[in-house]
Structure 1
Amino acid sequence: MTLFAARRQPQHHGYRHVPSTQPQHHPHYDDPSSTESDDDRSVELLEVPDVELACKAYASHHRSRSNSSLSSLSSIISSFAPGTHGYIRAASPRSRVRLARRVVHVALLALALWIFVTPIINPSYTHRPYHYSGMNLRREKVFIAANIIDEELIRGPWGESVEALVELLGEDNVFLSIYENDSGPGTKAALRDLAAKVKCRTSIVSDHIDIDAFPKVQVLPNEQRVKRIAYLAHVRNKAIEPLTRNATGMLFDKLLFLNDVIFSPKDAADLLFSTNIGPDGATRYHAACAMDFINPFKYYDTFATRDAEGHGLGVPFFPFFTSAGHGFSRADMLAGTDAVRVKSCWGGMVAFEAKWFVDQRSGLLLEAPDKLGSQSSTKPDGDERTRKTTTANVPSQQPTRPKQVRFRSLPELMWDASECCLIHADIGELAAKNPEPWENPQALDHGIYMNPFIRVAYDSRTHSWLEFTRRFERLYPIAQSFVNWLVSRPPYQARRAEVPGTVVWRRGWVFDGPVRDDVNRSRLHSHAITDEVAKFGHWEDIRQIASPGGFCGGRQLLLLKPQPWMPGERIWYKITPPKGAED
């Protein structure tokens, strides 16, 4: 009988049958410690004439191996045998689908847990610092300025908040100045009613502005227009005129400028008196801005806001800034500080040190640079008086003295910047010449901050949601970074790194067409207007001295529509510059 016949009788010798499908080169057989090959053992057994002796010899040969080796071999072989414990089967397509589903389910569960837990244990800008009292503890004097034309807001939430704010700050510590123009009899009546309600001293001005008295620019025949920013700078300067002309009889610590926003009086007080507070309890800022929201999630004032290095914002969701440059502003926002370093901001409500609007050399208040008159009602010391003046000349957009600031615009064509950004650029330039001890210019800390705890909105519904939606903001940074990359934010700014006072070469637009022609262009859409503009001008290299605020601007031209303006009408339009600027 052959060796194979002997191996078919495992029941007589206690050996387990090994299927023919076992691996041919298992590590056990390739063990270099083994001194005999399979072929040698086979030959040895075949030489034994008696089958029984051959089987005994085979068993005796393998008994010399340890039981552990036999057990290991049996385990390895059985893993390849269907129906046995530990059987290894190749993954089928159906099992792969089940595995993928399990992974997706686990990922969704983790995501849901993250979304649920983050607003509870790690909310964004929800718990205000302990020193935020919403009070004027140091009895500081505040000049409140506003431009507002919305009758409903004046009679509604805005007016109510202003009344409450005056009471909170102390009527002896506040002067309220409101300037409006060409907004209709309803607004004028609402402002008169507000002046009668508030208990502080006021200057409520209703005026008509003759746009024809402003300097004009021209990029098309028949169209000499006023730049929108020049107009806005003028009306803001009119609102602070009682301060700059020393018409109040008071010396102020702070200037609070209000837009037509829904705000909390306590938030306004905390912005004024609690932002970046020092060990002595005094604030340490030159300017501090709130954040304004157009809906419960979206920041609005991207036109005036620049990060600590002058970059524009990313997509306007938390953390709002990008990682461009050193990313200081984004890092501050993620750190939850109440003083996010920026170069400029506005945010619907902004607090300034009042000293920037007076002469720093003498400490005396100066007259405002513009002389446009107005019709106003004032209420000094509770007695109402009326003064009337007439429009005399065009407002100058440059400050009369080098050490005070005013809202201003830029004169050139096809480049505009917000007056709310330029005011910060001017303050930053003055502050850099004589920095405060608490400033750190090396870390781009120039005393201009955004306070994300203080938030305002343009309607009551949005404002009511802001305390809740901010809780979820820690969920946004990864998505916001990805979208910033996707849409190439921040946008390129050709003049961001300009040093004020240095000589620079810029591309400027020069109008060289006829002043008048017979073509009616009033119905052209924006792209057609740009094409028309390109026919009547050219780009030219112009040598200039850089002024503060190069980081504020961009290639655009914002113009006012001709008067008369209808109530509720959008009174301005935008022209996109023709190609060829190369910046």
Structure 2
Amino acid sequence: MLVRPRWRRLASNRATKVLALLLALWTTIEVLSIRRNLLREAAPELPAFGNQKIFIASIHWTDESVLRSHWAPAVAQLARDIGPENVYVSIYESGSLDASKEVLQILDTDLEISGIRRKIVLDETTHKDEVEKQHTQAGWVQMPVDRSYRQNWTDWFTLEKGTWVPRRIPYLARLRNLVMQPLYEMQQSGETFDKVLWLNDVVFNTDDVRTLLATRSGDYAAACALDFKRPPMFYDTFALRDAEGYEPLMETWPYFQSSQSREAVIHGRPIPVASCWNGMVMFDAAPFYDIRRPLAFRGISDGLAASHLEGSECCLIHADNPLSRTKGVWVNPQVRVGYNGTAYGAVNPVNAGSWPSSFAIAKGLWHNRIKRWLRAFKLRDRTVENKLQNWRDEDAGHHEPGSFCLIDEMQVMLWNGWGHA
């Protein structure tokens, strides 16, 4: 009677050890295979810019530190590398609370010395000025209750019932469209561009832009980098959606729920996505020149936003772009930018292809796998879908092509930044 239970325990322990060994062997083979894929894709030949004409666009607010240490010198060098005849730099800054204007004035002088065409607007209008304006019919939302709201995740502020406040996303969309104006002015004089490069306040170099430009040999509606603020977690979850329109499953490698997107990550190839921004994005310029309906940045309707929904203008632009459906939107995993020098160095090690580490790959594979398994048994949160459907039911004319961009948030402008309401 005592022998049989002991034998069963021994058999169970042996089976557990065998299973653990098989899982370890399976994981090791996976990691080695992925490592080979990443090494193979990590060192592509960097093409010359050639005669491609690139319009560089950017907006800024209170980011002096990275502008001074990395961004401004990198933009000046990039413009010189592209060549004065093939580049235009358009920058808009407004109401910064630091010396961002001073740094951009220095950049302006640097670009002038190099013969680079540019338009750098340094606007004195502050966020406080925007908030205190008389509210207009578009781009504002009325606070429904008297309560406290989170402000930039640190402080608290109070908005009285009935207070009208400007929405953050329509404001940003308006500034981005202002930055694009020189593109249309030059079109009227007979000059057009092949690509539009949007840059956040990130650390990057010319080789990063060359690599991004060459994504899929230039055949894309848009191609994005990956951006990092606190590696190994990537940053821009607001605008990034996988090939099936889902938000990233996790903030670390391999990021995605969609098998199509995830497989591309594992093989180190350009990743098909529904939308992205990620600190640096290269657009095919053609849709911005569409005579009937030029591509432009926008926010979702105020009526939809009033139900506590929001969508990034950097996501909606892809939903509106007709080329997204024919040429696709892609993330190039070989282009990794950072919001500071430390982050950039962490994701761009000296040995190409050594990022992510083998341990990070193994951990990421199982983390992603388990999250997908658990999600299969989890009831789907239909909060966003229900709000969207209620809005559609209000009026047959209500339509939002960027429904995959929507999240359950309300973002409003404040005198010193923005907050979640």
TM-score by length of structure 1 reads 0.58
Alignment of 1:78-477 (within 5 A): 100=13, 107=20, 111=24, 118=31, 122=35, 125-128=38-41, 132-136=45-49, 138-149=50-61, 150-184=63-97, 186-198=99-111, 199=114, 200-209=116-125, 210-211=129-130, 212=133, 215=138, 216-220=140-144, 221-246=161-186, 250-272=191-213, 274-277=214-217, 283-323=218-258, 327-338=259-270, 340-358=271-289, 360-361=290-291, 402-410=292-300, 411-412=302-303, 413=306, 414-427=308-321, 430-431=322-323, 439=326, 446-467=327-348, 468-472=354-358, 473-475=360-362, 476-477=364-365
Deviation at 1:356, TM superposition (A): 1.6
Distance in structure 1 (CA, Å) of the matches to 2:410 and 2:332 = 30
Higher helix share: 2
Cross-structure match for 1:73? none
Deviation at 1:492, TM superposition (A): 4.7
Any stretches of 5+ residues in structure 2 without a counterpart? 145-160, 349-353
Any stretches of 5+ residues in structure 1 without a counterpart? 1-88, 278-282, 362-401, 440-445, 499-503, 510-539, 566-570, 576-583
Aligned-partner residue type, residue 288 of structure 2: F
Does structure 1 conserve the Cα–Cα contact (< 8 Å) formed by 2:211 and 2:334?
no
Cross-structure match for 2:157? none
Cross-structure match for 1:52? none
Give the fraction of aligned pairs with identical amino acids, expressed as a percent.
30
Q: Do the aligned partners of residues 128 and 166 (structure 1) sit closer, same or farther apart at CA in structure 2, a change above 3 Å counting?
A: farther
Distance in structure 1 (CA, Å) of the matches to 2:187 and 2:100 = 24
* Equivalent residue in structure 1 for 2:409, among 516, 531, 556: 556
Distance in structure 1 (CA, Å) of the matches to 2:143 and 2:293 = 35
Does structure 1 conserve the Cα–Cα contact (< 8 Å) formed by 2:92 and 2:179?
yes
Distance in structure 1 (CA, Å) of the matches to 2:183 and 2:333 = 28
Distance in structure 2 (CA, Å) of the matches to 1:505 and 1:121 = 40
User: 101-110 or 303-312, which moves further after superposition?
Assistant: 101-110
Distance in structure 2 (CA, Å) of the matches to 1:185 and 1:293 = 23
Distance in structure 1 (CA, Å) of the matches to 2:21 and 2:238 = 38
Does structure 1 conserve the Cα–Cα contact (< 8 Å) formed by 2:165 and 2:412?
yes
Deviation per residue, 1:543-576 (Å, 9 max, x gap): 4432321111123211112x3x2xxxxx22223x
Aligned-partner residue type, residue 355 of structure 2: T
User: 90-99 or 552-561, which moves further after superposition?
Assistant: 90-99
Aligned-partner residue type, residue 313 of structure 2: E
Deviation at 1:243, TM superposition (A): 1.3
Aligned-partner residue type, residue 431 of structure 1: L
Does structure 2 conserve the Cα–Cα contact (< 8 Å) formed by 1:308 and 1:341?
yes
Alignment of 1:52-71 (within 5 A): none
Deviation at 1:125, TM superposition (A): 3.5
Aligned-partner residue type, residue 179 of structure 2: A
TM-score by length of structure 2 reads 0.78
Deviation per residue, 1:403-453 (Å, 9 max, x gap): 2111101122122111001000010xx237xx7xxx4xxxxxx42111111
- Aligned CA RMSD, in angstroms, stands at 3.6
Distance in structure 1 (CA, Å) of the matches to 2:36 and 2:361 = 7
Relative contact order, higher structure (CA 8 A, sep 6+): 2
Distance in structure 2 (CA, Å) of the matches to 1:276 and 1:260 = 25
Q: Do the aligned partners of residues 106 and 222 (structure 1) sit closer, same or farther apart at CA in structure 2, a change above 3 Å counting?
A: closer
Distance in structure 2 (CA, Å) of the matches to 1:158 and 1:172 = 22
Alignment of 1:504-543 (within 5 A): 506-508=389-391, 541-543=394-396
Cross-structure match for 1:84? none
Distance in structure 1 (CA, Å) of the matches to 2:200 and 2:29 = 36
Deviation at 1:144, TM superposition (A): 0.6
User: 254-263 or 477-486, which moves further after superposition?
Assistant: 477-486
